[in-house]
Structure 1
Amino acid sequence: YRELSMQHQAEEDAWKRLLEEYGKKYPEEAGRLQEFLDRDNQAKLDAISDFWKKGEKPEATRSISGQVIQTIKEAIPTLIGGSADLAPSNKTHMDGVTDFSAEHPEGRNLHFGVREMAMSAIANGMLLHGGCTTYCATFFVFSDYTKPMARLASIMGIPQIFVFTHDSIGVGEDGPTHEPVEQLAMFRAMPNFHAYRPCDATEVQAAWYSALTSPHTPTAIILTRQNLTPMEGSSKEALRGGYILEDYEGLPQLILIASGSEVELAHQAAQILQKEGIKVRVVSMPCMDLFEEQEEAYQEKVLPREVKKRVAIEALSPLGLDRYTGIDGATIGMTSFGASAPYKELFPYFGFTAEHIVEVAKGIL
């Protein structure tokens, strides 16, 4: 190993000398190369005047994510990525940008084909090489095939970006083979990994901002097929993983915790309970992993220990949500696989309605 180390050190020193000579001869190009290698995406994002914008209409978070990609593609020229043959559904194709091929090595849209594990490995390799900001995409249920490479990204500490769409029973008619249940719990269990499940445009933007500026942690951005209503209380606080979406004066009697498509249901349930005189706080938890990294004082502010009556709602496996609900709270989640039907029928069938949340909440109060 010592001999190899000395050999490669000599090669690295030679490369550095070459780079120094290149910089003297081509200062502009050398500066551009160094900019690519530095990966300072935060400054580029902060320079985009319309990066942060509230949603104005019900829209699928996968579509909003696609809009974010179009917004950042010029500001971050190192952005390169694609999908495992699902780009139109994942909304990951950069419009007006050349597709990568042997004839067009400058292309930034990658067509990986139906091979999720290879796609993720390729993206990891490009990121390890440097000079690229990479992302790869597929349906959330197929994230099982990307998991080994996501795990390696976590171990190596590289900020890979995974875009997973069709995130729950909201997939609908494709049925249980295409409806994720256990996948979110799998990613939440992985050390050094951020799994974001945003509820609207603001939270999608936060997920991308967090992913693009993360120095050593990979991120999954988990998105809906169906339209979601923009939340008035959503904010950049989503960058902290969890935050108070709506609240009432004084200490709440009940806290509703949700992510993604269920945040709207939690909001609706809170409105019903508030009319009955029950003080309710709604907490949006788009990224549990990131919330756990916040200082204890912030976590206590959002989820005060004194308030033990809590209900957590996700149209996925409830595994792990009990860390926030405790023995005095309740969880509403998927304890079986899904079914084949329109999502507007599936959500009530599996108990994901404001009325059922109200019923469960009253049961613990």
Structure 2
Amino acid sequence: MSSFQASEVDEKCVNTIRTLAADVVAKANSGHPGAPMGMAPVAHILWTQIMKSSPSNSKWYNRDRFVLSNGHACALQYVMLHLMGYKVKMDDLKAFRQLNSITPGHPEVGMTDGIEVTTGPLGQGFANAVGLAMAQAHMGATFNKDGFNVFDNHTFMFTGDGCLQEGVAAEAASLAGHLQLGNLIAVYDDNKITIDGDTACSFTEDVEMRFKSYGWQVLHVENGNDDYAGIAAAIEEAKKNTNQPTIINLKTIIGFGSKLQGTGGVHGAPLKKDDIAELKKRWGFNPDETFVVPSEVKDAYAKAADKGAKYESEWNKMFASYKEKYPAEAAEVERRMEGRLPEGWEKALPTYTPEDAAVGSRKLSETVLTKLWDVLPELFGGSADLTGSNLTRSKAAVDFQPPSTGLGNYAGRYVRFGVREHGMTAICNGLAAYGGIIPFGATFLNFVSYAAGAVRLSSLSHFRVLNIATHDSIGLGEDGPTHQPVETVAWLRTLPNMQVHRPADGNETSASYMVALKSQHTPSTLCFSRQNLPQLANSSVEKAVKGAYVLEEVENADVTLISSGSEVYLINDAAKKLKEQGIKARVVSAPCLEIFDAQPNEYRLSVLPSGMPILAVEAYACGTWLSYAHEFFGLKGYGMSGPADQVYNHFELTPEGIAKRAQKVVNFYKKRGCEVYSPLISALDEVNDQ
């Protein structure tokens, strides 16, 4: 049994949370009041009795992390942040879900003080929490010394029936159990209600047995509505287990206190005015007043905040001593947590000449990762059971594994994610959110689509996550259409704040990693070929870091050919064939269109000038190419199973086939006889304002 015994003030605090949640949602006339009202007791106990957090410094390195995986319940989190003294004012609660407020409809990292990760799509936060817990285990194993626990925080996560039905949560939970993450504690809001109503209609599995099979410790609190001592005891017991993650099955009544409690009617709609009045009367509040925080509640949370500040102060004193005894390690902690890269790391990037052998760009990627492994100790990641195909593991790497398995240790940096693409990427988001780590996850490009929800949140959250995607085209050959991506890059390129790199040779591969690693607030997808690619004449790291550049310049050209990745050498050879026919072709390589878009207009127009048609060539569907080219030659359907060269021949993606299309383009635009403007120039583009 817990030493915690609830007082009348604790009761008042819990009911304040409930009434504030009801007021917040009612004023917005939009939101989810039910879960916040049901989870008010556990939230109060967690923030005031358990969590080590410092509201005056929400970025304290060793703070306990909190994730609201059931992000629709964010009124609860905003209320708690306000009561604890984070930078969430009462006016912010009143502006819930309103334009330009810091209290949006789901938690957004970087927008609201105290929010660790962006949640909303169910299950993502669960996987993020696993990433946060992995990060602590790794940073602790790397930097802690006897008497100096620099990183020993816990990750607490609230989750619900919806999250646990999502596959991404299942993937992450399975891995967390294998990894024995004793620093991860989940509270399952078992209220048996989703949007469709009672979970009896769709979700009747034994959740506790499921998590036991994953290797989790499972605890149970039958009365989550007012058994405060039982809630506190369960969390305290969870903290004692250092060898297993814990899930606490907390039985609650959704919308506790409402006339509609326990029903779907209180899940995603504001309470009626009379309902709010009645519940306020029940808990001793004036029904005519809104957004009320009694003085004794303010005092209770001020004491909790002071306790958090004391935790941070004690840690700061410890870290000052750590600096004196271990100055190099302390400097490394600060560098990594601030997101700064070590001086001179770029010198490790390899460069190439045309005399170097032709190899697949996945092999070039392996060379880069191997070179960077020792100079960038913050690189941390692995593959979704494709290590031997993605080529992501340096020979010097140690696996991130529980020491008890004999397979590695927590100081290891290579992760065996298993066949869990979605969970892998969502976990990487949590790793990035923790700080001190640059996470990467690898799979075939086609299976990045499995992880689409998490990839999108990397971009939205501005996390530096590297998605390493090999086997990036029909060039992977015999595995056929199921494995050959034709549309994947197109949707990736449309994601705001996502860099899509598709390098054509070794220099461009080094450049892609350089840009991706320097982009502290942008994720990247790096697309690599299985088939061998030649080292191109006139390529260089310096040129490629601009996103696109002229590989072969020709005066008075008739056409510009532009491509990326494994098709660049094909357009280069096509230009030679066109020359034999008396057609002058410029050649442009575009390893990253997003980086190219960020270049000055003058440079962009020098690469893709007016005066001639531009033909884009790529072994994909057209996608976004018509923003850069007048015409496109690629795929109009799915790929084919067969040896790579035969598949390219089938689609006429050969120098001869490209030259034939280029000749048609030249003839077509000459016949039109009108001036040809660069596609970069448009009525709605700033380029036109020069």
| TM-score when normalising by structure 1 | 0.94
| TM-score when normalising by structure 2 | 0.50
What letter matches 2:358 in structure 1?
P
8 Å CA contact retained: 1:42, 1:213: no
CA distance in 1, matches of 2:519, 2:504: 21
8 Å CA contact retained: 2:505, 2:533: yes
What residue in structure 1 maps to residue 550 of structure 2? 244
**Residues 1:4 and 1:51: Cα distance change in structure 2 (over 3 Å):** farther
8 Å CA contact retained: 2:358, 2:534: yes
**Residues 1:13 and 1:276: Cα distance change in structure 2 (over 3 Å):** farther
Q: In the alignment, does 2:332 pair up with 1:32?
A: yes
**Residues 1:186 and 1:355: Cα distance change in structure 2 (over 3 Å):** same
Q: In the alignment, does 2:422 pair up with 1:342?
A: no
CA distance in 2, matches of 1:303, 1:221: 24
CA distance in 2, matches of 1:42, 1:271: 43
> Per-residue deviation at 1:81?
1.0
Q: Which has the higher contact order (CA 8 A, sep 6+)?
A: 1
What residue in structure 1 maps to residue 496 of structure 2? 191
8 Å CA contact retained: 1:53, 1:201: yes
> Per-residue deviation at 1:25?
4.4
8 Å CA contact retained: 2:552, 2:588: yes
8 Å CA contact retained: 2:446, 2:484: yes
Q: In the alignment, does 2:623 pair up with 1:322?
A: no
Q: In the alignment, does 2:593 pair up with 1:292?
A: no
Please tell me whether Structure 1 or Structure 2 has the larger radius of gyration of its CA atoms.
2
Q: In the alignment, does 2:484 pair up with 1:169?
A: no
Gaps of 5+ in 1: none
Q: In the alignment, does 2:83 pair up with 1:3?
A: yes
Q: In the alignment, does 2:577 pair up with 1:272?
A: yes
Residue-pair matches, total: 359
Q: In the alignment, does 2:661 pair up with 1:360?
A: yes
CA distance in 1, matches of 2:458, 2:480: 31
> Per-residue deviation at 1:96?
2.0
What residue in structure 2 maps to residue 82 of structure 1? 382
**Residues 1:52 and 1:42: Cα distance change in structure 2 (over 3 Å):** farther
**C-alpha distance after superposition, 1:291-327 (max 9, x if no partner):** 11111111011001232x111100011121111223x
The within-5 A match list for 1:111-126 is 111-126=416-431
> Per-residue deviation at 1:273?
1.2
Gaps of 5+ in 2: 1-80, 87-304, 404-408, 667-690
Q: How big is the alpha-carbon RMSD for the aligned residues of Structure 1 and Structure 2? A: 1.7
What residue in structure 1 maps to residue 401 of structure 2? 101
What residue in structure 2 maps to residue 62 of structure 1? 362
CA distance in 2, matches of 1:61, 1:3: 53
**Residues 1:322 and 1:214: Cα distance change in structure 2 (over 3 Å):** same
What letter matches 2:634 in structure 1?
G
Match of 1:217 among 514, 519, 522: 522
What letter matches 1:305 in structure 2?
S
8 Å CA contact retained: 2:339, 2:520: no
> Per-residue deviation at 1:341?
1.1
> Per-residue deviation at 1:153?
1.1
**C-alpha distance after superposition, 1:44-102 (max 9, x if no partner):** 42343x63334601100001100111111011112111000001100001212211111
Match of 1:53 among 352, 362, 383: 352
8 Å CA contact retained: 2:357, 2:535: yes
8 Å CA contact retained: 1:69, 1:92: yes
**C-alpha distance after superposition, 1:114-170 (max 9, x if no partner):** 001111111111111111121110001100112211111111111110100001111
> Per-residue deviation at 1:227?
0.5
> Per-residue deviation at 1:16?
4.1
> Per-residue deviation at 1:282?
0.3
The alignment-based identity, stated in percent, is 36
CA distance in 2, matches of 1:230, 1:51: 13
What residue in structure 2 maps to residue 312 of structure 1? 616
**C-alpha distance after superposition, 1:19-53 (max 9, x if no partner):** 334324433321121122233336342343x6333
Deviates more, 1:330-339 or 1:188-197: 330-339
CA distance in 2, matches of 1:125, 1:52: 33
8 Å CA contact retained: 1:195, 1:289: yes
CA distance in 1, matches of 2:561, 2:571: 6
